[in-house]
Structure 1
Amino acid sequence: MCTSLTLTSNNQQHFLARTMDFGFQLDGRPVVIPRNYAWKKQLEESQETRYGFVGTGRNLDEYFLADGVNEQGLAIAELYFLNEAKYSSEVKEDRVNLAPHEFIMWVLGEIASIAELRERMTEINLVEKEIPLLGFVPPLHFIITDRTGETVVVESDSGELVIKENPVGVMTNSPEFGWHLKNLNNYLSLQPSNFANKKIGDYEVQPFGQGSGTFGLPGGYTSPERFVRTVYLRSLVDADAPLNALFKVLDNVTIPKGVNIKNDGSVDYTQYRAAFDVTNLTYYFNPYENQEVFELVLDEELLNKKEPIEFEYDRKFKTTVLH
């Protein structure tokens, strides 16, 4: 599970945000990968990054990131795509062969814009290769945005990577993205204002109170419910305060520990939330353990480091005492 969305502020700043929901403890933390860093691929020789980037990840012999933004303002997040992702079963000599979880490293280190990604997508062959941390091949799809504000989804439900336009700026999990767009047709009645009173014969029916226009808005944690809820909220939030608005939307799809138990007994919950200001190259990180939002600007000093940098953060819940 996971939920992601983009948002454009009233002064044309572009953002990508996401929840990371998972049943296995990922222990993700802020990581900066500098320019000209040679990262090890599982299927081929190392590849040097053209661009530096910041995101959430950890070191598993090599760094693995689940999201990030690079110095060109291209941002990406990977989300679970259960029973839908289809990868190549073999390495192809004329392609860049990547394990699915390496796609983010390649995109952030190599690609400056969605326009460039369209031109170079045919270079990539995603191969069925497990991630060492999990011990299986993760089924993934990706949401990507850049400094133009355009947003796309990349899915491999056909066996080949396909770029799909994302007119609503939201992505969750399975089914494939087109299904979620069609499902929005079931929610045409949603509106921020109350429904008007209605006469049934001589009897007048009226709303119980505020919020009648949202009657039928899905409230559960399934992928379709989170998609509809996020699309609705995103379309109405205050874009004058975009970062606050993003986290308020994420609040509505954040999963507390204990409310979603998987068949194997593990607890699927929101381990962290992250947001990326692609205009100002700023990364925001909010762990499950507290309400604090940590900020990191991708500046020249970080971009020119010789090795990746991990940033520790305070996991203790904090309050502010008023005097």
Structure 2
Amino acid sequence: MCTSLTLTNNSQHHFLARTMDFGFQLEGRPVVIPRNYTWKKQFDGTRNTKYGFLGTGRNLGEYFLADGVNEKGLAIAELYFLDEAKYSSEVREEQVNLAPHEFIIWLLGENASIAELRKRITEVNIVEKEVPVLGFVPPLHYIVTDKTGETVVIESDSGKLVIKENPVGVMTNSPEFEWHVKNLNNYLSIQPNNYPNKKIATHEIKPFGQGSGTYGLPGGYTSPERFVRTVYLRALTESGNTAADSLNAIFKILDNVTIPKGVNIKNDGAIDYTQYRAVFDVSNTTYYFNPYENQEVFEITLNEELLNKKEPVEFKYTTDFKTTKLNE
């Protein structure tokens, strides 16, 4: 599953945020991939990163990342795209052949902006290849933003990677992005203000209380419902002037699509839940990570020391739930 959004605050500060919802325990943790790092692709050899980047990943012989931001402020998150993603079945010598889960490393390691990505997207050939720990080929699509605040979606429902404009700054899962945008037409009545009283014959009907304008706002955890709910909340939530204001606003929005453990069970019995939430400050290349187990938000900023490391750096975090006692 998963939900993602971008946000620009009143000071033109840009962010990318996501929930990571999955039934398999991913065991992702914050990791920095340095500049000039050589990584081994699953097809035809190795590549070197030009830019260093930071995100959520796991070492499976090679590092795989589900999201991240690089030193130039280009940020990306991958989300599940069930029954829609279409990949190549063969390697093409004239292109950069990547497994679906390797696309993030290529994008963050070799591109500085969406403008550059537009020029280079045709270099890439996404080939069907299993993720070793999962044992299957993950169907993925991607949301991308940069320091300009522009947001795009990258999908392969046509059989090749296509960059699509994202005017609402939100992405969830299947079906294709255009469907979600068109589906918003069904929710024209959703508004932050109450509806006025109305008379039917001699009888006056009126709201039971505050919030009548949001009647009909979807509340479930399906991809279309989370998309509509996040678009509404993103459009109206006060984003503030400072990074702290915006982070607080973003986590409040994510609260509405965060899936508690046990309320959403897959057909195979696996519990699909929000394993972590991440926010990327693309203006300051800073990463905020919140695991499911507690309410603490962990922060890492890309700096020259990290960018010039010889090997990737993993960061451990605590999973204990903590409170602050006020009467001691």
Q: What displacement does 1:239 show?
A: 1.2
**Match of 1:301, as an amino acid?**
E
1:103-122 aligned at under 5 Å gives the runs 103-122=103-122
Counterpart of 2:13 in structure 1 is: 13
1:169-208 aligned at under 5 Å gives the runs 169-208=169-208
Can you list the C-alpha shifts for 1:120-156, whole angstroms capped at 9, x where unaligned? Answer: 0000000001110101100000000000000000000
Counterpart of 2:100 in structure 1 is: 100
Match of 1:292 among 296, 299, 324: 296
**Match of 1:103, as an amino acid?**
F
Counterpart of 1:211 in structure 2 is: 211
What is the number of residues matched between the two proteins?
A: 323
Distance across 2 between alignment mates of 1:111 and 1:214: 41
Distance across 1 between alignment mates of 2:2 and 2:133: 19
**Match of 1:269, as an amino acid?**
Y
Gaps of 5+ in 1: none
Counterpart of 1:162 in structure 2 is: 162
Match of 1:279 among 283, 286, 292: 283
**Secondary structure of 2:236 counterpart:** coil
Distance across 1 between alignment mates of 2:196 and 2:145: 39
Backbone CA RMSD of aligned residues: 0.4
Gaps of 5+ in 2: none
1:30-45 aligned at under 5 Å gives the runs 30-45=30-45
Counterpart of 2:87 in structure 1 is: 87
**Match of 1:317, as an amino acid?**
F
Which aligned segments of 4 or more residues in structure 1 are displaced greater than 3 angstroms?
none
Distance across 1 between alignment mates of 2:85 and 2:36: 31
Can you list the C-alpha shifts for 1:58-88, whole angstroms capped at 9, x where unaligned? Answer: 1000000000000000000000000000000
Distance across 2 between alignment mates of 1:10 and 1:280: 16
Counterpart of 1:258 in structure 2 is: 262
**Secondary structure of 2:142 counterpart:** strand
Q: What displacement does 1:250 show?
A: 0.3
Distance across 1 between alignment mates of 2:227 and 2:277: 16
Counterpart of 1:246 in structure 2 is: 250
1:62 aligns with 2:62: yes
Is the deviation greater in 236-245 or in 82-91? 236-245
**Match of 2:215, as an amino acid?**
F
Can you list the C-alpha shifts for 1:219-269, whole angstroms capped at 9, x where unaligned? Answer: 000000000000000001111121111100000000000000000000000
Distance across 2 between alignment mates of 1:165 and 1:222: 23
Counterpart of 2:231 in structure 1 is: 231
Q: What displacement does 1:101 show?
A: 0.3
**Secondary structure of 1:235 counterpart:** helix
Distance across 2 between alignment mates of 1:39 and 1:285: 24
**Secondary structure of 1:292 counterpart:** coil
Q: What displacement does 1:44 show?
A: 1.8
Distance across 2 between alignment mates of 1:250 and 1:158: 30
TM-score (norm. length: structure 1): 1.00
Counterpart of 1:133 in structure 2 is: 133
Q: What displacement does 1:289 show?
A: 0.2
**Secondary structure of 1:276 counterpart:** strand
**Secondary structure of 2:220 counterpart:** coil
**Match of 1:107, as an amino acid?**
L
**Match of 1:276, as an amino acid?**
F
Distance across 1 between alignment mates of 2:111 and 2:326: 47
